[in-house]
Amino acid sequence: MRRFALVFMAMCLFSTTAMAIDIACSTEVSWWPEATAQQEMEEIAESVPVPVEIFTSSDGDALADWVIAHTGNGQSDLLI
């Protein structure tokens, strides 16, 4: 069900308009295994027509840099 909800949300974003968007996915979680989160994020990345950056639990600094670089640039962004 979570997978369906995440994919549905991502697909809705792309079906409404053609716009530039950047997507980042973090697999750092506390309520389900990171390996499962990694698999879910990879499935989302394969399902959307734009590049997706996936950050693991050891990529905290890189994720923070992504957020800073993508905030306030007038472009839609999605962080999952």
Give the pLDDT confidence of 29-80 residue by residue, as tens digits.
778 888 888 888 889 889 888 889 999 889 999 999 999 999 988 888 888 8
DSSP-based three-state secondary structure for 63? helix
Beta strands in 1-79 (DSSP E): 21-26, 52-55, 76-79
Give the CA distances from residue 44 to residues 32, 48, 55, 68, 69, in Å, rounded to whole numbers and listed in that order. Answer: 17, 7, 13, 23, 22
For residue 67, what pLDDT is reported?
94
Q: What is the pTM of this model?
A: 0.66
On the 0-12 / 13-18 / 19+ scale of CB atoms within 10 A, 15 is exposed
User: Residue 40: how many CB atoms within 10 A of its CB?
Assistant: 19
Nearest residue to 76 (alpha-carbon basis) of 17, 4, 6: 17
Mean pLDDT over 13-38 rounds to: 75
Q: Which residue range forms the structural domain that includes residue 59?
A: 2-79
What is the domain count for the chain? 1
Residue 13 pLDDT grade (very low, low, confident, very high; cuts 50, 70, 90): low
